[in-house]
Chains A and B, each alone.
Chain A
């Protein structure tokens, strides 16, 4: 179980959110919504442990993530606003490295299957990522989710620049993660096509 208790955060002088308490149970998704600049990305980075909160705490299975440190990082997969892939490397190389650094299986077959699952055919596997479109790059990043075996997914605008097909692949993958008892936190502007009983919303306001 994943919890935030009276969490507050700010950027510089500006208070973004305060007193946010939410609980994410296994098998559920938390959708963080709000206008541009309302602090969704900061909220997610805080949940990763990249940003320290002004007040309150973030608990993983009842323990503060500040104390857990690497034990907590080993529980999460974060897909940020930035893709975190290298333009000079091919999608296969990028995904292999990220899988290896996450401790997931990184053999060629598994990686190619993950890329095909996000709709990237073999024709682009050996091209430098630089020549791919925004949406294709996003797909390469998201392919990590097909390899991830970690229970907590933190996704920052995962649907940005994806087409309808890729959006539905991703929604299915999120759903199957939830059905395995996983937890997902998504910052998004769009409705996610999932059964309403497993979604809760958190609205951040300025």
Chain B
């Protein structure tokens, strides 16, 4: 009889997903380009007035990050579901919720992390200064993992349904609202010269809360999807 240790199982799940992402580099590049293009459309539409751009910067960049996360949610479980890998994952003798954390982590590395790394550049485009750029990056670093966590619940609930893309959006976008408010609020506060610590702490709290509940809810939804 053999059993993988928890860290072995977790590492196995993450390594496979990252290896697959390496084979599908174009998928990763696409979500990066999506963010760049959407963020660049706003200045073109709104006009080059620096004061206006600075005002809308935090909202626009956060909504862009949110949409990028949403678009990549389809990749989280669907392929595994179709080729039977998910079935095998459910049979790994370790708590499924922990393995879900592994899957969500790789999803974040592929779809969230590039947005975080790119955000200072996009912020510059909107005329954000040094301090607010730092806050923007930090808020995205704290917020995007939460988006992936919450998104995983929606992706698991809609697994195997027809037209699940739109349904996922309807399910998870309302749940993204607190993260959006605190994240965009942090940047606006820093622009207004008020401290952004409160907003960042709340983002951190959101992350911890989602880390505690989302994997468990996702695991339950996955088991139901495979019944």
Contacts and interface: CB of A to CB of B under 8 A. Distances in A.
Nearest to B96: A70
A85 B20 contact: no
A13 to B, nearest CB: 15
Contact of A70 (B88, B94, B226): B94
A50 B87 contact: yes
Nearest to B11: A100
Interface string A58-89: 00000000000011011110101111111111
B91 A73 contact: yes
Interface stretch (B2-10, B40-48, B138-146): B2-10
Contacts, number: 90
Given A70-B93, A74-B93, A88-B23, A97 B3 contact: no
Nearest to B86: A84
Given A83-B83, A87-B83, A98 B2 contact: no
Given A80-B87, A84-B83, A75 B1 contact: yes
Interface in A135-155: 148-151
A48 B226 CA distance: 12
A102 B83 contact: no
Interface residues of B, number: 31
Interface string A121-163: 0000000100000000000000000001111000000000000
B20 A88 contact: yes
**Interface size of A as a range:** 35 or more
B84 interface: yes
B24 to A, nearest CB: 7
A51 B16 contact: no
B2 A85 contact: no
Contact of B2 (A80, A81, A103): A103
A76 B92 CA distance: 10
A104 interface: yes
Interface in B17-55: 19-20, 23-24
A57 interface: no
Nearest to B92: A101
Query: In the complex, which of the residues B9, B15, B89, B91 has the most CB atoms of chain A within 10 Å of its own CB atom?
Result: B91
Nearest to B99: A101
Contact of A73 (B8, B15, B92): B92
A100 B93 contact: no
A162 B91 CA distance: 25
A100 B91 contact: no
Interface of B: 1-5, 8-9, 11-13, 15-16, 19-20, 23-24, 82-85, 87-95, 226-227
15 contacts: A52-B227, A71-B93, A73-B92, A82-B82, A82-B84, A84-B83, A86-B16, A86-B85, A101-B8, A101-B88, A103-B2, A104-B2, A148-B2, A149-B2, A151-B1
* 10 residue pairs, one from A and one from B, having the closest CB atoms: A82-B84, A103-B4, A74-B93, A84-B84, A73-B93, A103-B2, A70-B93, A88-B23, A74-B3, A84-B88
Interface of A: 48-52, 70-71, 73-76, 78, 80-89, 93, 97-98, 100-104, 128, 148-151
